[in-house]
């Protein structure tokens, strides 16, 4: 793939995520989407970059903040919006909502609202991939808050011990809910500690999706070349409140100035200006944006007009039945 095409692909993913979330913001206060929203605005470079470096053989696991991950993997906004509206046409027929997007057919196995809970599951899936001889990795996304949890260390230990193809993706937005690392970590550097395990470590503070893509590609190669798991540490800034669709700078735990600094390196801004340098004209980029806007608008409307699940759905799929 040429650099231009790669960046176009990354831009399309990032722009779709941004537009879909902006659409949520438009209606959320009307109380039609009754599901706790953990918005991913600001992290688009990470999910677009990593998802683009992964193949169809790879498995993905996320957190309650996984709108971006789902959209980057699937490109599908109809089932996404349907899930937000609680409709039967949703990703998991309205049973999961914003925090539990699971699309196994596309390799997005699960996302979890209890911090760190998908990490050991990803390790188990990696074991299965290795046993079955599939050349895939199991990529698990989590915040730096997950590193406070025991199951992160248990899982890192197991993956390193059993030499499993796990790609740990730590997305550090500087807070666990509202609490900064200085109040949670008895150490300075996550990467330094993780590197003491039999695990390759990569890190970046870039919000350029291409940088993330390259890092994730290298990490994936390292997994197979060195037969160890890999850990990528990435920084981003959460534009909105922990949960909800508004800003919360007035709460006083973070500053507007800090936000303004991150806005200068907004992932979409970076991709757009790069595309310009790579020869994509304004007209071409506008057309891409317009097409995505239209697709978002259409799927949003269709989802909003879709049916709720019927009552029998409540008891369906508690157990698998032959």
Residues that bind other proteins (CB under 8 A): 59, 91-93, 95-96, 100, 102, 104-105, 109-110, 112, 114, 117-129, 131-132, 138, 150-151, 154-155, 157-158, 161, 316-320, 322
Minimum distance of other proteins from residue 58's CB (angstroms): 12
> Can you list the alpha helix ranges (DSSP code H) found in the chain?
3-28, 44-53, 67-74, 78-84, 118-131, 150-161, 190-194, 209-226, 256-264, 267-277, 282-304
The H or E element that residue 112 is part of is strand 108-112
Minimum distance of other proteins from residue 300's CB (angstroms): 21
Minimum distance of other proteins from residue 114's CB (angstroms): 5
Q: Which is nearer to other proteins, 155 or 207 (CB)?
A: 155
Minimum distance of other proteins from residue 281's CB (angstroms): 42
Residue 63, strand partner residues: 112
Supply the DSSP string of 144-203, one letter for each residue: GGGGGSHHHHHHHHHHHHTT--EEEEEEE-S-BTTB-GGGT-SSS-HHHHHTTSSSEEEE
Q: Which is nearer to other proteins, 48 or 66 (CB)?
A: 66
Question: Which pairing describes strands 138-143 and 200-204: parallel, antiparallel, or unpaired?
Answer: unpaired
Q: Which is nearer to other proteins, 127 or 249 (CB)?
A: 127
Q: Which is nearer to other proteins, 183 or 318 (CB)?
A: 318
Q: In whole angstroms, how far apart are CA 107 and each of 35, 59, 70?
A: 24, 5, 10
Classify 232 as helix, strand or coil.
strand
Q: Which is nearer to other proteins, 7 or 35 (CB)?
A: 35
Minimum distance of other proteins from residue 185's CB (angstroms): 21
Q: Which is nearer to other proteins, 17 or 122 (CB)?
A: 122
Minimum distance of other proteins from residue 219's CB (angstroms): 19
């Amino acid at each position: 793939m040429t650099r231009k095409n790669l960046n176009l692909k990354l831009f399309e993913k990032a722009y779709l995520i941004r537009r879909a979330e902006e659409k949520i913001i438009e209606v959320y206060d009307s109380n039609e989407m009754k599901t706790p929203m953990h918005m991913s605005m600001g992290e688009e470079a990470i999910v677009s970059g990593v998802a683009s470096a992964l193949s169809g053989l790879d498995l993905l696991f996320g957190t309650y903040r996984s709108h971006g991950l789902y959209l980057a993997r699937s490109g599908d906004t109809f089932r996404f919006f349907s899930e937000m509206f609680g409709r039967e046409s949703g990703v998991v027929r309205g049973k999961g909502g914003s925090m539990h997007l699971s699309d196994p057919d596309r390799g997005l196995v699960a996302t979890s609202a209890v911090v760190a809970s998908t990490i050991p599951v990803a390790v188990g899936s990696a074991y299965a991939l290795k046993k079955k001889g599939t050349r895939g990795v199991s990529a698990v996304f989590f915040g730096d808050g997950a590193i406070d949890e025991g199951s992160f260390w248990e899982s890192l230990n197991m993956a390193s011990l059993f030499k499993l193809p796990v790609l740990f993706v730590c997305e550090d937005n500087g807070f666990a809910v509202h609490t900064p690392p200085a109040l949670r970590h008895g150490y300075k550097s996550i990467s330094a500690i993780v590197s003491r395990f039999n695990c390759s470590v990569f890190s970046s503070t870039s919000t350029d999706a291409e940088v993330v893509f390259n890092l994730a590609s290298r990490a994936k190669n390292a997994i197979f070349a060195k037969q160890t798991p890999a850990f990528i540490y990435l920084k981003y800034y959460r534009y909105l409140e922990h949960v909800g669709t508004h800003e919360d700078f007035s709460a006083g735990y973070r500053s507007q100035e800090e936000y303004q600094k991150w806005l200068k390196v907004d992932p979409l801004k970076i991709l757009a200006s790069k595309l310009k340098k790579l020869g994509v004209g304004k007209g071409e980029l506008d057309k891409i944006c317009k097409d995505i806007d239209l697709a978002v608008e259409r799927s949003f409307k269709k989802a909003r007009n879709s049916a709720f699940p019927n009552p029998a759905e409540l008891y369906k799929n508690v157990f698998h039945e032959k």
